[in-house]
Structure 1
Amino acid sequence: MKRASYLQCAPKLMQHLFTQEQLLNEEVTLTLDTKLWELVKLRASQLNQCGYCIIMHSRQAMEQGESAQRIIALNAWRDMTGFTAKERLALTLCEQLTNAQPIDDTLYCALSEEFSDDALVTLTVAINAINAWNRVVKMFKPEPDE
Structure 2
Amino acid sequence: MRFNIQRHYPAMQPLIDLGRAVHDAGRLEPALIQLVLMRVSQINGCAFCLDMHSKDARAAGETEQRLYLLPAWRETKLYSEREQVALQWAEELTELAGAEPVSDALYEKAKNVFSEQELVDLTLLTVTINSWNRINIAARTIGGYYKPASH
Deviation string, structure 1 residues 83-106 (Cα, Å, up to 9, x no partner): 111111000001100101422221
- 2:23 corresponds to: 25
1:123 aligns with 2:118: no
CA distance in 1, matches of 2:134, 2:80: 29
Q: Is the 8 A contact 1:42 1:53 kept in 2?
A: yes
Of 62, 78, 90 in structure 2, the residue corresponding to residue 66 of structure 1 is: 62
Q: Which amino acid aligns with 2:92?
A: Q
What residue ranges of structure 1 are gaps of 5+ in the alignment?
Answer: none
Q: Which amino acid aligns with 1:132?
A: S
1:55-134 matches, cutoff 5 A = 55-100=51-96, 101=98, 102-134=101-133
Q: Which amino acid aligns with 1:64?
A: A
Question: Larger RCO: Structure 1 or Structure 2 (Cα < 8 Å, ≥ 6 residues apart)?
Answer: 2
Q: Is the 8 A contact 1:7 1:14 kept in 2?
A: no
Query: How far 1:21 sits from its partner (Å)?
Result: 2.0
Deviation string, structure 1 residues 43-101 (Cα, Å, up to 9, x no partner): 00000011111111111111222100000000111111211111110000011001014
What SS does the aligned partner of 1:81 have? coil
Return structure 1 stretches of 4+ with deviation > 3 angstroms. Answer: none
What residue ranges of structure 2 are gaps of 5+ in the alignment?
Answer: 147-151
CA distance in 2, matches of 1:16, 1:36: 23
Q: Is the 8 A contact 1:44 1:98 kept in 2?
A: yes
Higher helix share: 1
Q: Which amino acid aligns with 1:71?
A: L
Of 2, 9, 19 in structure 2, the residue corresponding to residue 11 of structure 1 is: 9
Deviation string, structure 1 residues 29-50 (Cα, Å, up to 9, x no partner): 1x11011000000000000011
CA distance in 2, matches of 1:86, 1:7: 34
Report the TM-score when normalising by structure 1: 0.90
1:52 aligns with 2:51: no
Greater Cα offset, 36-45 or 103-112: 103-112
CA distance in 2, matches of 1:103, 1:86: 16
CA distance in 2, matches of 1:139, 1:116: 35
CA distance in 2, matches of 1:107, 1:21: 24
- CA 1:104–1:61 in structure 2 vs 1: closer, same or farther (change >3 Å)? same
